[in-house]
Amino acid sequence: MSGWRCTGLTYRYPESSRPAVRDLSIDIPAGATTAVLGPNGSGKSTLLRLLLGVIRPSAGTVDFQDRPLATWGREALAREVGVVPQGEEAVFPMSVRDLVAMGRYPHLGAWRREGEADHRAVEDAMDRCDVRDLAARAVPTLSGGERQRARLARALAQEAPTLALDEPTAALDVAHEMAIFELLRDLAHAGRTVLLVTHNLNLAARYADRLVLLDGGRLAAEGTPAQVLTRETVERVYGWPVEIVGHPGPGPDTGAPQVVPLAGDPSIRATRPGEQGHAA
C-alpha cells in the first residue's frame, strides 16, 4: 500500500500570480520516513497542506492509501494521519492534558464519552513525548520545546499509523531538536509512516529514508539522502556554496551525507579541490 501518490499536482494561492506548487508527481511510500526539503518559499508547507486536504489542488491529483484524497472524510483521515502543524495558538489557555486529549476527537466525534482506551492513549502519548510532568500546566506557560512536544503528543494520541509534521523543530535548541528526531526514528521503527517538512538538511539526511527536494514549487530531486544531497544539487537549489562530508560517527548515521555551507566569498570557493580557480 502506498502512502501518498500525487500526479501533476499544482496549486496557486488565490492572490498569487505564480503557483506555489507546480506539476509535482511524487510518491511518498508507507512505512518509511520522508523529509520534504527546499528553500524558503519553495512550496514545502503548501505541498503538506495539499497532502492533508486542507487546500484543494488547482490541477493534478492526490491519492492517499490508493484512494483519491477528496473521497476521505476529515474524521477518517484524522484516524490515519496525525498532524503536528506549524505554529498554532489557542485563544483560551488550556492544560497540556486537555490539549493532548483533543487528539482523541477523530475516535470520539462530537458526542461519544472518553473511555478507558482514550485515557490510556492520552497518558501513553504524554509519556512518549515526556510531557507527563507538564500535564496540568497551561500551554502558554511552556517553553517552545515543551509546547512542541505537547503538540506531538496530541498527534500521537490520535493513534494514527501516519504522522505528518511541519517544521517540528523550528526554533528548538540542539538537544530538543535531537530528542524529537530520535523520537521520530523510534516511531518509524515501530512501523509508522513519517512525513516531515524541515529546513535541517543534515538531520533529514540522518533520520529520513527518502528526501524530496523542492525548488520554486517544482521537484528538484528525490531519492535517498545520498542521491539528493549532492554538492551540485544543493548549490543549484539553495544558491550557496557547500561541501558535502560524511557523518563521522559513531552511531547508525555514520557516513550519512552532511551539508557544510562555505563562506560566501567566491575566492574561497575557487580554492576548493577540483575547482578550476580563476580568482586571484
Query: Which CB sits closer to other proteins, 30 or 138?
Result: 138
Minimum gap (Å) between residue 25 Cβ and other proteins: 25
Which CB, 36 or 244, lies closer to other proteins?
36
Question: What is the distance between the alpha carbons of residues 69 and 73, in angstroms, rounded to a whole number?
Answer: 9
Measured CA to CA, the distance from residue 213 to residue 171 in angstroms comes to 21
Of 136-195, which residues contact other proteins (CB under 8 A)?
158
* Interface region with other proteins, contact rule CB under 8 A, candidates 35-43, 103-111, 196-204, 226-234: 103-111
Q: How many residues bind other proteins (CB under 8 A)?
A: 33
Which among 87, 67, 84, 85 has a CA at the least distance from the CA of 76? 67
- Helix, strand, or coil (residue 223): strand
Q: Are 144 and 171 spatial neighbours (Cβ–Cβ below 8 Å)? A: yes
Q: Which of residues 9-68 bind other proteins (CB under 8 A)?
A: 14, 49, 52-54
Choose which of 81, 134, 172, 205 interacts with other proteins (CB under 8 A).
81
What is the Cα–Cα distance from 187 to 255, expressed in whole angstroms? Answer: 23
CB of 142 closer than 8 Å to CB of 126:
no
| Candidate residues 89, 116, 278, 280; the one interacting with other proteins per rule CB under 8 A | 89
- DSSP string across 113-137: PP-HHHHHHHHHHHHHTT-GGGTTS
CB of 88 vs other proteins, minimal distance in Å = 4
Residue ranges binding other proteins (CB under 8 A): 14, 49, 52-54, 73-75, 77-79, 81, 83, 85, 88-95, 98-99, 102-103, 105-106, 108-111, 158
